[in-house]
């Protein structure tokens, strides 16, 4: 048994959009305030792709809860399976938490820049501006995003290492 086609597609879409959202996050903060348009557009793109990641991860989790994972590859030692399962659980948690913290910090920002999904669908801010709350949430959003990046890279490197050692774990996520 392998991963379902929908689970495989979602895995790679989430990975690609996560990298794009991270790159936009670093870019938007680094851009100068003048001219304002590129910075504003980078913020809107970051927030939009981040919200899409949140929706796709919720969908992935729903599929994961309905369908059991494929059987373990017995060529991989048991302790590595346990470590991989732990990392994957933390990755799911961070993939949900990081965008939620991003939304809450955008909603708390003293500057109150509106959030509109791809400049089309307005996303209401459920919290009002609060500089102290914004500082804590924005820091947590940044720190957990870096942890997500580090764990995601570790996860990808281990998948490549298993692949190089002849295991089928990467292939079954790629082609089924």
Task: List contacts with ligand HEM (CB under 6 A).
Answer: 18, 21-22, 25-26, 29, 46-47, 50-51, 53, 98-99, 102-103, 105-106, 115, 138, 141-142, 145, 148
Q: Which is nearer to ligand HEM, 60 or 141 (CB)?
A: 141
Q: Which is nearer to ligand HEM, 3 or 137 (CB)?
A: 137
Among residues 81, 101, 110, 107, the alpha carbon closest in space to that of 146 is found at: 101
Q: Where are the alpha helices (DSSP H) in the chain?
A: 5-30, 36-66, 78-108, 131-164, 169-174
Distance CA 176, CA 46 (A): 31
Q: Which is nearer to ligand HEM, 47 or 60 (CB)?
A: 47
Q: Which is nearer to ligand HEM, 1 or 58 (CB)?
A: 58
Peptide bond into 35 cis (omega under 30): yes
Q: Which tokens go with 1?
A: 């048994």
Distance CA 15, CA 7 (A): 12
In the complex, least distance from residue 142 CB atom to ligand HEM, rounded to whole angstroms: 4
């Amino acid at each position: 048994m392998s991963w379902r086609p929908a689970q495989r597609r979602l895995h790679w879409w989430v990975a690609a959009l996560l990298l794009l959202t991270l790159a936009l996050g670093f870019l938007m903060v680094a851009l100068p305030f003048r001219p304002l348009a590129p910075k504003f557009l980078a913020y809107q793109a970051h927030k939009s792709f981040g919200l899409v990641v949140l929706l796709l991860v919720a969908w992935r989790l729903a599929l994961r809860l309905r369908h059991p994972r494929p059987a373990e590859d017995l060529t991989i030692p048991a302790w590595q399976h346990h470590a991989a399962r732990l990392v994957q659980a933390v990755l799911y948690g961070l993939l949900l938490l990081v965008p939620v913290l991003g939304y809450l910090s955008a909603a708390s920002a003293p500057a109150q820049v509106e959030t509109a999904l791809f400049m089309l669908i307005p996303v209401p801010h459920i919290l009002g501006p609060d500089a102290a709350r914004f500082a804590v949430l924005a820091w947590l959003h940044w720190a957990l995003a870096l942890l997500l990046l580090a764990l995601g890279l570790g996860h990808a490197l281990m998948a490549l290492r298993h692949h190089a050692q002849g295991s089928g774990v990467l292939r079954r996520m790629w082609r089924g």
